[in-house]
Amino acid sequence: MPPDRMPPLSLPLIDAARAFLAGRVRRTPLEESPALSKALGVPARLKRESLQVTGSFKIRGAFFRLSLLSAEEKRAGIATCSAGNHGKAVAYAARAFGLVPTIFVPASVDESKYRAMVSLGAEVVRSRFPGYDETEEWALSEAKRAGRVWVSAFDDPAIMAGNGGTLALEILEEFPEARAFVLPVGGGGLAAGLSYAVSERAPGATIVGCNHERSPALALSLERGEAVTRLPAADTAAGGIEGGIGAKPFEVLRSRIARVALVSEEEIFEGVRWMLAEHRYLIEPSAAAAVAACLTGKVGRVDGPAVVVITGRNVSLETLRRVLA
């Protein structure tokens, strides 16, 4: 389906994503965390999307998005830009459809993610730019030149519905008491889909987005009243939350997000260490942003049962060594 004919984000679109994904991706566990419950003062659960196929939630949106491609679009081929997880998800889903995607990645891409995309058979092109936004701008022009269909990592209703919408429905089915959601925010696809579904199905629940303090796209966008879609490259191991926010996700988020917690690189590293020490799960730095917000109290006051979305586990040994050093 061409991007200009894509329907807007809606519950029916989320339901369609759910139906398509059933049996194709995992229903990930929602696990109690006594330690986070203590830290937050309310019953807290981890949505362990880090156990998802491809190691992150991104497969939900990517798989659903590719299922909407027309035969003509498939012939033209697809291209995308990713800090890693979306790219890995696109590579995985594309293989299921017999496609070889072109995936543009920042020069700073995590090595484990880079290798995973290559081994899934994708054509991976490393840009000369360290950050996401400049890489994407270049990738868009390259993809256009080659006549490829662009698959945005977040600025697309199907991606929002798949990534965040289906995740929210899963959580609410199992834990309808949830009154607060804490999650990392980068381009905003996950947060937009989740907050949309939550506002429809559990109105009044609080959604706290977590930004890296060096790349606070959501916080700045709320301040300015418009989407900050580009930011200078930030030096961080949390590539998934580096860069600007999508215009479409921000339109959904602006009225639905309660507040933004800004966390530092060191707090994120501490979140990775904490998860290893407390639960003995490996999570990636981007995912740890939400944990960090809870541990530092930056998440703010939480009034009811909370869900902390653990978005992924794709981290290289090199990065893990730095985190533990």
Binding site for a copy of itself (CB under 8 A): 55, 112, 273, 276-277, 280-282, 313-317, 320-321, 324-325
- Amino acid at residue number 156: D
Cα gap 92→156, rounded to integer Å: 19
Calpha distance 154→160 (Å, rounded)? 6
The one-letter amino acid code at 212 reads H
State the minimum distance, in angstroms, from the CB of residue 115 to a copy of itself. 9
In the bound state with a copy of itself, the residue whose beta carbon lies nearer, of 71 and 317, is 317
The type of residue at 34 is P
Which CB atom, from 16 or from 315, has the smaller least distance to a copy of itself?
315
CB of 321 to a copy of itself, least distance (A): 5
Residue 299, classed as helix, strand or coil, is coil
| Least gap, CB of 301 to a copy of itself (angstroms) | 27
- Identity (one letter) of the amino acid at 7? P
Q: Copy the structure tokens of residue 266.
A: 């060191």
Exposure on the CB side of residue 98, measured as CA atoms within 13 A? 4
Let me know: does 246 contact 220? Beta carbons within 8 Å: no
CA torsion through residues 313, 143, 150, 190, sign: positive
Per DSSP, 55 falls in state G
Q: Least distance to a copy of itself from the beta carbon of 186, Å? A: 19
Q: Which is nearer to a copy of itself, 51 or 68 (CB)?
A: 51
Closest separation in Å from C-beta 68 to a copy of itself? 28
Torsion of CA 8, 257, 238, 264, to 10 degrees: 160
CB of 30 to a copy of itself, least distance (A): 13
Minimum distance between the CB of residue 270 and a copy of itself, rounded to whole angstroms? Answer: 11
Instruction: Taking the CA atoms of 117, 104, 91 and 187 in sequence, report the sign of the dihedral they define.
Output: positive
Give the three-state DSSP class for 204.
coil
